[in-house]
Chain A
Amino acid sequence: MIAFENVAYSYGGGDLLSDVSLRLAPGSFHFLTGPSGSGKSTFLKLAYAELQPTSGQVTLFDRDVKSLSRDDVARTRRRIGIVHQDCKFLDHLSLAANMALPFTVSDRESSPQDMNELLGWVGLSHLSHALPPQLSGGERQRAALARAVIVDPDVILADEPTGNVDWEMSLRILTLLVELNRMGKTILIATHDLNLIRQAKAQLQARVLRISKRRIQLAGADL
């Protein structure tokens, strides 16, 4: 599904990642951890073709990202749900319209009934007409998650999805991600929140990857 082979990424003359090899199997659940600035976000950006590797090969759905045109990248992203810590929305559109954006940009429309169900799933039914600036941090994270899954993607990549919310909301978001994984989605969460990782491992089989010294390693039993 997503594969890294001897991938290196340099920026400004320095290596951020080097010799990274990894394969995300369908239906797997991974955490990616490491200190701030270790390259977690860079890794995710490589995984959704926002960045191209300096060397090595990143394969998305069996296609080398370097061979993808801009339109191919757009089409590929419809199969990847992306959630950011500072989730961005279009502030002039309602929450429901923002959630429906992945449909809108592919010239399709979601059914109101299914949209209501999705809003209910993330607990935001009462805010469907609200504008993004009116939402709290937790509401924005859940809305971003709903937007990421609305087109039924194969993979969900989340970059610090609980970074701006309290513990209770973190657990709620984790529950949603676990539920998605049980629906067959491949999940990769970049986080430095070890408590969240422990909580997840109590619920399912999750692999924990750690970025250390620009390389990715499988984390030990200390987690």
Chain B
Amino acid sequence: MKLPAAKPASPATRALQVVPPSGPTVWLTSFTATAMTFLCVFALALSLASGRLADRWSEALARTATIRLSAPPEQVQIQTDAILSLLATTPGIASFRAIDDAETRALLEPWFGPGLPVEALPIPRLFEVVEAESGYDSEGLRQRLAAEAPGALLDDHTRWRRPMAEAAGRIRLLGVLSIALIGAAMAAMITLAANAALATNAEVIRVLRLVGAKDSYIARAFVRRFTLRAFAGATVGTLAGLVGVAALPAADAAGGFLTGLGFSGPGWLWPLVLPPLAAIVAFLATRRAAFAKLKELT
């Protein structure tokens, strides 16, 4: 009798074979990865869309300012001329204009309805100022306005812009936190599933240790299987999430706050990082669980 000689083999494939191909944890890992990644796609979409929306608002407000003139009727035209003359000589202003009655009526129409008698109401006169690239000295302008047109008030939108920027930052942070929490929940679930799988296969592990298997070999078998399951589940979850986001109602003017919710342009590529990320989470979680459990079992 001659004892068999050794030949090299594909370690990954062979390691996979030693673990029974199915078990109660199969569906748990795949389902967890699918569900968590599905949620992750929406968290990502919400985060990106909210950030984009806030950026857009902030950007729109950042480059404009409004001057409001409230003066006695006989002073309105005098102070209007003073304001226009002052703006014409202020450096850093790209353009400016006085908003006429028709436009003022249009601005107020959503609140008061059509046919508003603007002339009969004490509505302040508005001026739109567009900032040049170099910017203007808002404090200086404020002081000159106070001197030459005492009824004028400059609103450079700072009080709007700051909360917008803060809101954008917080929404992004919430999105990142949500994704991190979802990742942590997935890691916890996969760790539980891996522990259950290892406990279920305690006898298999004992046999493997008996014939000379190292912990790293046994762990590799489980880790590879869980990583592949998580990757497959996450791919399904990502695709389902993308279909869900794509199926959201199209953005239009009536969309209000929801305008632009979803992904835009290259943003559609972001969810594609989720399956590899889920696989990495599964890999790390299973590996940690496997080594701990192996020491406990044998």
Measured between beta carbons, the chain A residues less than 8 angstroms from B8 are 107-109
B6 at the interface (CB under 8 A from A): yes
A114 contacts B211, C-beta separation under 8 Å:
no
Q: Which one of A21-29, A32-40, A95-103, A212-220 is at the interface? A: A95-103
A104-B18 contact, Cβ under 8 Å, with A88-B203, A110-B5:
yes
Measured between beta carbons, the chain B residues less than 8 angstroms from A104 are 9, 14, 17-18
B211 contacts A102, C-beta separation under 8 Å:
yes
B20, B203, B208, B215: the one within 8 Å of A71 (CB): B215
> Which one of B6, B7, B9, B21 has the greatest number of beta carbons of chain A within 10 Å?
B6
A152-B3 contact, Cβ under 8 Å, with A88-B203, A105-B18:
yes
Task: Please give the number of chain A residues whose Cβ is less than 8 angstroms from any Cβ of chain B in the complex.
Answer: 38
A114 contacts B18, C-beta separation under 8 Å:
no
CA–CA, A115 and B14, complex, Å: 17
**12 CB < 8 A contacts A-B:** A70-B215, A88-B203, A101-B211, A103-B6, A105-B213, A107-B14, A110-B4, A110-B6, A111-B5, A111-B7, A114-B3, A118-B1
Measured between beta carbons, the chain B residues less than 8 angstroms from A102 are 211-212
B2 contacts A105, C-beta separation under 8 Å:
no
B215 to chain A: closest residue by CB: A70
A90, A97, A121, A152: the one within 8 Å of B207 (CB): A90
B11 at the interface (CB under 8 A from A): yes
Measured between beta carbons, the chain B residues less than 8 angstroms from A114 are 2-5
B204 at the interface (CB under 8 A from A): yes
6 nearest A-B pairs in the assembled complex, by CB-CB distance: A114-B4, A109-B9, A105-B213, A110-B4, A108-B6, A78-B212
A20 at the interface (CB under 8 A from B): no
B1 contacts A179, C-beta separation under 8 Å:
yes
A93 at the interface (CB under 8 A from B): yes
CA–CA, A115 and B211, complex, Å: 17
B14 to chain A: closest residue by CB: A104
Measured between beta carbons, the chain B residues less than 8 angstroms from A179 are 1
Q: Residues of B at under 8 Å CB distance from A?
A: 1-9, 11, 14, 17-18, 20-21, 203-204, 206-217, 295
CA–CA, A104 and B208, complex, Å: 10
Beyond A77-B210, A107-B11, A118-B1, 8 additional pairs, beta carbon < 8 A:
A70-B214, A75-B214, A88-B203, A88-B206, A93-B17, A105-B214, A109-B8, A151-B212
A74 contacts B214, C-beta separation under 8 Å:
yes
B4, B206, B209, B210: the one within 8 Å of A103 (CB): B4
B212 contacts A150, C-beta separation under 8 Å:
no
Least CB distance from B177 to A in Å reads: 39
Measured between beta carbons, the chain B residues less than 8 angstroms from A110 are 4-7
CB-defined interface of A130-169 with B at 8 Å, one 1/0 digit per residue? Answer: 0000000000000000010111100000000000000000
